[in-house]
Amino acid sequence: MQSPDPIRSIVIVGGGTAGWMAAAAFARNLGRHLSITLVESEDIGTVGVGEATIPPIKLFNAMLGLDEAEFMRETRATYKLGIRFHDWLNLGHEYFHPFGVYGLKPELGHFLQFWLRVQAQGHDIGPVSDYSLCTLAALQGKMGRQTDDGVMATFGSAYHFDAGLYARYLRRYSERLGVIRIEGLIADVEQHPETGNVKSVRLKDGREIEGDLFIDCSGFRGLLIKQALKTGYDDWSHWLPCDRAMAMPCAHAGADINPYTSSTAREGGWQWHIPLQHRVGNGYVYSSRFTDDDSAETTLRANVEGEALAEPNRLRFVTGRRKKFWNRNVVALGLASGFIEPLESTSIHLIQSGINKLLLHFPDRSFAPANIEAYNRRQHLDYERIRDFIILHYHATARDDSALWRYTRTMEIPDTLAHKIEVFRERGAFANAAEEMFTPTSWMAVLMGQGVIPQSHDPLVAYEDIATLRTGFARMKDHLTRLAADLPSQRDYLRQNGMLAMS
Residue 36's DSSP bridge partners are 10
Distance CA 115, CA 117 (A): 5
Q: What angle do CA 152, 153, 158 make, to 5 degrees?
A: 90
Going 372 to 373 to 377 to 380, the CA torsion angle's sign is: positive
CA distances for 266 relative to 243, 263, 295, 375, angstroms: 15, 9, 11, 37
> DSSP secondary structure string, 129-151?
GGGBHHHHHHTTTB-----SSSG
Query: C-alpha distances in angstroms, 486 versus 156, 257, 384, 400?
Result: 17, 17, 40, 41
Backbone angles phi and psi of 191, in degrees to 5: -110, 150
* Contact indicator for 275, 257 with CB cutoff of 8 Å: yes
Q: Any catalytic annotation for residue 323?
A: no
Catalytic residue among 58, 80, 226, 477: 80
Q: In 313-439, which ranges are continuous DSSP H helix?
A: 347-360, 369-395, 403-410, 415-427
Coil, helix or strand at residue 500: coil
Query: What's the order of all strands across the beta sheet hosting 186-191?
Result: 186-191, 198-203, 208-210
* Residue 230 backbone class (left: φ over 0; alpha: ψ -120 to 50; beta: rest): left
Using CA atoms, how far residue 23 sits from 48, 73, 153, in Å, is 17, 21, 32
Number of residues that this document lists for the chain: 503
Q: SS3 sequence, 9-70?
A: EEEEECCHHHHHHHHHHHHHHHCCCCEEEEEECCCCCCCCCCCECCCCHHHHHHHHCCCHHH
Q: How far is CA 280 from CA 144, 264, 292, 425, in A?
A: 22, 15, 24, 37
Q: From the CB of residue 355, how many other CB atoms can be counted at a distance below 10 Å?
A: 22
Task: Report phi then psi at 345, rounded to 5.
Answer: 60, 45
> Closest Cα partner for 244 from 47, 15, 54, 14?
47
Q: Which residues pair with 247 in a beta bridge?
A: 283, 313
Edge-to-edge strand ranges of the sheet holding 233-235: 233-235, 320-322, 338-339
**C-alpha 147: how far from chain center:** 23
Residues annotated as catalytic are: 80
